[in-house]
Structure 1
């Protein structure tokens, strides 16, 4: 996997580079998560297909 040093990352960022600092809240496994992930995957793929000019697949 390719890595980037701080200078390369800064050169690729528009605006100020700020850390992504969101608290991590551990949770017990949720049986609904696979469905949520599948729904999100379909939405992302549909968007990517639209941007690429591909017909939507169902």
Structure 2
């Protein structure tokens, strides 16, 4: 199964509360913070909500 590495690249200050909650659910909260998550539809949906705040790279495992 592939993994997705998510890195926050922009601040969540001034964004909607749902966007800040999505970042928390992804396990990141500060600029430069990274988290590796499984490639599942739920995670892809969260990533689709905040593409302007994060950078995504895919890894094969």
Q: TM-score, normalised by structure 2?
A: 0.23
- Which protein is richer in strand relative to its size? 2
- Which protein is richer in helix relative to its size? 1
Which protein has greater RCO, CA pairs closer than 8 Å, 6+ apart? 2
Which structure's CA Rg is the greater one? 1
Q: TM-score, normalised by structure 1?
A: 0.24
